Amino acid sequence: MKRISIYVALLLMLFVGIQSCELQSEQFSDVDPAIYPTTANDVRDLVTSAAYDSFRNNEYDGIFNVATGYFLDVDIATDYGYCSWDDGGGWSRLAFAQWTPNDTRNVTNIWRAYLNKISKMSLTIDRIQSVQMDEARKAQYVAELRCGRGFLAFIQWDMYGPIIVSDLENLKNAAARVILPRLSEEETRNYIVTELTEAAKNLPYSYKKGDADYGRFTKGLCHMVLLKFYMQTKQWDKAITEGRELMKPEYGYALVPSYVDLFTRANEKNVETIFSIDCKEGTTNSLWYPHALPSDYVLPNVWGGGGWGGYKMTWDFFDTFEPDDERTTYIISEYITASGVIRNKANKGTDGGNCLQHGVIPLKYKLEPVNGDACDIDFMVYRYADALTLLSEAIVRQGNTVTSEAISLLNQVRTRAGLTGYTAADFTGSRDFLDKLLMERAHELWYEGCRRQDLIRDGSYIQTLQKKCQAYGQPFIATENYTRFPIQESIIIAGQGIIEQNPGY
């Protein structure tokens, strides 16, 4: 995606769209279609800009950025997420489910900043139709745009519920400034499924390391998002179909033998990766290092600056790991400060970010030599271990029984972490299996945007947040409505009663 990032930077100013959710518009005719696009290269550039603009992690930009991005927002709002900063209480409200429609930084921002990108993709599909070029290649570009629409719609639905989708006529008549209502729940679900299903028909199964188009959307990504969607809507039979689809040899997915190799520069673009954000110094830079590491953490010959000590993993969650679990390798529960003080569970400190007071340090990515404070290891979005464990869960939920296949799928991930595999005798029933599987997924996929979905799907999200609030002495105000975030209040006001707020806010 190095090439993609460059195209995005060059072409964003050329592109136009409508921000129907915020009642703002941009003029479609600013770029004369008789002049641009007219060639296959123009189409590629325009599609790259429209389809991939959102799906980046470059410092503070992109829906996967580590400051205000999707994964960060939903992970802080779980039992293991915490941020040590005090910015007027915003981080605390996110961590303890006390958010409101006025929390614009990490609660309502994904809707506000990215929903309109679906319209950009729709306009691009229309714009490239008349270009004379190889029709198969054009079909793939349209598929990339439809994958982008379905992927982005899923993220919005996951956080906020029903979305706003404009038809082409309104998009081309942006000056009319029409206020559009949100789709129904059923219409939103159908939109997600249709876009991803149709996109998958004209996309390659996957890309391998070294492929020129690595980082562009694939059939594998479409089916991974569909798997997650069907899990969240409890359509177990369809989830099983999607999980088995991703196991087909055509995709080439497999578990990397060693978990600790997953998040290293040397093992980027591995066979376990279904979709990741390509990070490279000078092009796209993840700021995970400084957000997680404290300023007094000694980093000889690795990184010249101090961190900001924000993101933590709660001690209660960290204590659920088994002693030999290799997935704790990049979790820092003890360190010596620059002044020689040992920080650990017995001496956590009281300095907020510069200690372990609020939790352990979820480093996640191996510390590699970098220029400045940026992490240039590819940012993981979806990987095969996620798919295998979701398939295991779907099998048990569908039949309400623990099968040998479900155990085997779970054990592939568990034993890779250096732990002893389960046997049928280890489970008292399907509920016990699901409890162990969900914890296994939490240990495997921490800070990969999965835990909130898992708990919501299980029906235990609000109860889990209540326990977290009790552990930190925080008031608990969340209701079952808090499985969805609110829409920003200013958008609801500007919507003049047409755009409705989520229930409970």
- What are the tens digits of pLDDT across the range 462-503? 999 999 999 999 999 999 999 999 999 999 999 999 999 999
Is 263 a domain residue?
Answer: no
- The half-sphere exposure of 156 on its side-chain side, counting CA atoms within 13 A, is 28
Does residue 19 register a pLDDT over 80?
Answer: no
What confidence tens digit (pLDDT) does each residue in 95-143 have?
999 999 999 999 999 999 999 999 999 999 999 999 999 999 999 999 9
Is 279 a domain residue?
Answer: no
In this structure, the strands spanning 18-19 and 24-25 are: antiparallel
Listed in sequence order, the residues at least 6 apart from 367 whose beta carbon sits closer than 8 Å to its beta carbon are: 289, 299, 302, 303
What is the phi/psi pair of residue 229, to 5°?
A: -60, -50
- Inter-residue contact 448 to 378 (CB < 8 Å): no
In this structure, the strands spanning 81-83 and 273-277 are: unpaired
- Show the DSSP H helices in 293-346 as ranges: 315-318
DSSP state, residue 433: H
Which domain range does residue 3 map to? Answer: 1-59+106-203
Is 393 a domain residue?
Answer: no
* pLDDT for position 7: 35
* pLDDT for position 88: 82
Residue whose tokens read 């590819």: 378
Q: How many Å apart are CA 175 and CA 390, to the nearest integer?
A: 45
DSSP state, residue 492: H
Does residue 17 register a pLDDT over 60?
Answer: no
Residue 31 pLDDT class (50, 70, 90 cuts) = low
Does residue 411 register a pLDDT over 80?
Answer: yes
**Gyration radius of the chain over CA positions:** 23
Q: What is the pTM of this model?
A: 0.93
Is 197 a domain residue?
Answer: yes
- Inter-residue contact 46 to 15 (CB < 8 Å): yes
Is 198 a domain residue?
Answer: yes
Q: Which of 213-222, 294-303, 308-317 has the lowest mean pLDDT?
A: 294-303
Is 131 a domain residue?
Answer: yes
What confidence tens digit (pLDDT) does each residue in 148-169 have?
999 999 999 999 999 999 999 9
**CA distance readout (Å), 237 to 144, 233, 240:** 26, 11, 5
* pLDDT for position 268: 95
Q: Which of 26-40, 301-315, 338-352 has the lowest mean pLDDT?
A: 26-40
Higher confidence at residue 324 or residue 295? 324
Is 318 a domain residue?
Answer: no
CATH number, domain with residue 36: 1.25.40.890
What confidence tens digit (pLDDT) does each residue in 255-305 have?
999 999 999 999 999 999 999 999 887 778 899 989 999 988 887 555 555
Is 90 a domain residue?
Answer: no
What confidence tens digit (pLDDT) does each residue in 438-465 have?
999 999 999 999 999 999 999 999 999 9
Structural domain count of the chain? 1
